[in-house]
């Protein structure tokens, strides 16, 4: 670990936390709902994800057994508002059938795997990419892996740490190499970055005067 970078990263974290407080991320009632949200949230606003989750709840399908037994066309209809709904319905089905067949439907059993074994397993499933897998590992399995995303690239790019096209792996390594591996810290840090990225560090017109990072930002 680079002590200077660790201090800088913790200062950035402290500035964000001081302004926003805990973000209580991930917004879900249980681990399975968290996973469904992580699968549905790609390329769509969170508002649409919550609508889809409410639809699944209303039909008593928000469970591993529920998704496994659901008719695929009905599932597609219930999550239609999340875009790419056919692929997403298939992703939900594949994930749930996998947990059902290998772990008798128990997420707890699945989460007993070592962090990197679990990551390999998740990445082997249809439609689960690095960001989704890492969200599941951090927020549902509660194991310390740092989640990065487009907000991380933009905010830390403007802070002077990343190139515009910095890869997922490079960004993740940067945080993992220079922060203590602590699940609570990684949980809140990612949530804080997404808070700054969505509220202040907007694509075309960032709201720098209000941003908690304005004093240290390179822009």
Residues making contact with ligand SF4 (CB under 6 A):
155, 158-159, 200-201, 206-208, 211, 213-214, 217, 219
Least distance in angstroms from the C-beta of 154 to ligand SF4: 7
Q: In terms of CB distance, is 171 or 211 closer to ligand SF4?
A: 211
Least distance in angstroms from the C-beta of 46 to ligand SF4: 20
Q: How far is CA 215 from the centre of its chain?
A: 27
Give the phi and the psi of residue 55 in degrees, each rounded to 5. -60, -45
Q: At what angle do helices 168-178 and 150-158 cross, to 10 degrees?
A: 70
Least distance in angstroms from the C-beta of 87 to ligand SF4: 32
Cα 40-202-5 angle, rounded to 5 deg: 90
Q: In terms of CB distance, is 72 or 208 closer to ligand SF4?
A: 208
Least distance in angstroms from the C-beta of 186 to ligand SF4: 20
Burial class (CB in 10 A: 0-12, 13-18, 19+), 144: middle
- Taking a C-beta distance cutoff of 8 angstroms, is the pair 34, 28 a contact? yes
Burial 146-169 (b: 16+ CB within 10 A, else e): bbbbebbbbbbbbbebbeeebebe
Q: In terms of CB distance, is 104 or 215 closer to ligand SF4?
A: 215
Least distance in angstroms from the C-beta of 219 to ligand SF4: 4
Q: In terms of CB distance, is 95 or 162 closer to ligand SF4?
A: 162
Q: In terms of CB distance, is 119 or 190 closer to ligand SF4?
A: 190
In 111-149, which residue ranges form alpha helices assigned H by DSSP?
A: 115-123, 130-135
Q: In terms of CB distance, is 28 or 217 closer to ligand SF4?
A: 217
Least distance in angstroms from the C-beta of 8 to ligand SF4: 14
């Amino acid at each position: 670990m680079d002590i200077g970078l660790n201090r800088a990263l913790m200062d950035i974290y402290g500035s964000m936390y001081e302004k926003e407080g805990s973000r209580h991320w991930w917004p879900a009632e249980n681990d399975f709902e968290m996973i469904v949200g992580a699968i549905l949230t790609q390329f769509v606003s969170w508002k649409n994800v919550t609508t889809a989750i409410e639809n699944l709840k209303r039909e008593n399908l928000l469970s591993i057994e529920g998704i496994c037994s659901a008719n695929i066309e009905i599932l597609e209809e219930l999550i239609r508002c999340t875009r790419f709904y056919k692929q997403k319905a298939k992703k939900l089905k594949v994930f749930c059938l996998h947990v059902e067949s290998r772990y008798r439907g128990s997420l707890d059993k699945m989460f007993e795997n070592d962090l990197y074994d679990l990551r390999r397993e998740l990445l082997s499933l249809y439609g689960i990419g690095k960001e989704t897998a890492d969200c599941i590992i951090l927020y549902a399995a509660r194991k310390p892996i740092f989640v990065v995303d487009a907000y991380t690239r933009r905010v830390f790019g403007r802070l002077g740490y990343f190139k515009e096209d910095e890869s997922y792996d490079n960004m993740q390594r940067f945080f993992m190499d220079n922060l203590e591996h602590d699940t609570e810290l990684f949980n809140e840090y990612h949530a804080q970055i997404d808070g700054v990225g969505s509220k202040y560090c907007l694509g075309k017109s960032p709201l720098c005067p209000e941003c908690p990072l304005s004093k240290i930002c390179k822009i």
